[in-house]
Amino acid sequence: MDYIKIRFSDDINQLNSKMNSKIEETIDDMFRSMNPIFSFSECIWKPQMDIYETTEEIIVVAEIAGVRKEDLGVEISNRALKIYGDRAEMPRVENTTYRLAEIQYGKFERILFFPVPVDTNKVIATYSNGFLQVRLGKLVVGGTYTIPITDR
């Protein structure tokens, strides 16, 4: 299976900032696993996604169960896709002791960059059974075309 290589930045300062953010996120996850109420920062979750491509298109599948279609947004440019939304928290049951609380709620946002330009006019997004699927047609760049020659 070939994977799409996604490059976020060549800037070292941004990379360092992202590494520091990842360290904070890891520490936050560690403490949250011991006590779900404890958190250093606002809980922003990242839905899991699959990205794959064919010769004609790039396909993104996002697992976002529990998010209403009205609370979901998709933005596209010819080089990036932004998926964002908000999953409302389910009401807590009174007079109970939670032994495990892993389901994340709140706002989320993912920005994915593509290795090739996509045709923003050839995008189809569907949402079914908790999965968002976005199909993006690739933009044909630098192809060879046969030009018919006519008489004057």
* Residue-level pLDDT, tens digit, the chain, 152 residues: 555 444 444 455 555 555 666 666 666 666 555 554 444 445 478 899 999 999 999 999 999 999 999 999 999 988 899 999 999 988 888 898 888 888 888 999 999 998 889 988 899 999 999 999 999 999 877 766 677 787 87
pTM, 2 dp: 0.64
What was the pLDDT predicted at 41?
A: 44
What was the pLDDT predicted at 109?
A: 92
Residue 87 · residue 71 · CB < 8 Å: yes
Residue 66 · residue 87 · CB < 8 Å: yes
What was the pLDDT predicted at 66?
A: 92
What was the pLDDT predicted at 151?
A: 81
What was the pLDDT predicted at 87?
A: 93
Residue 73 · residue 81 · CB < 8 Å: no
Q: Give Rg (Cα) of the chain.
A: 21
Residue with tokens 């890891």: 26
Rounded to whole angstroms, how far apart are CA atoms 112 and 117? 12
| Residues with Cβ within 8 Å of residue 25, at least 6 apart in sequence | none
Rounded to whole angstroms, how far apart are CA atoms 77 and 95? 48
Rounded to whole angstroms, how far apart are CA atoms 133 and 123? 10
Token representation of residue 65: 């169960």
For 71, the 3-state DSSP assignment is helix
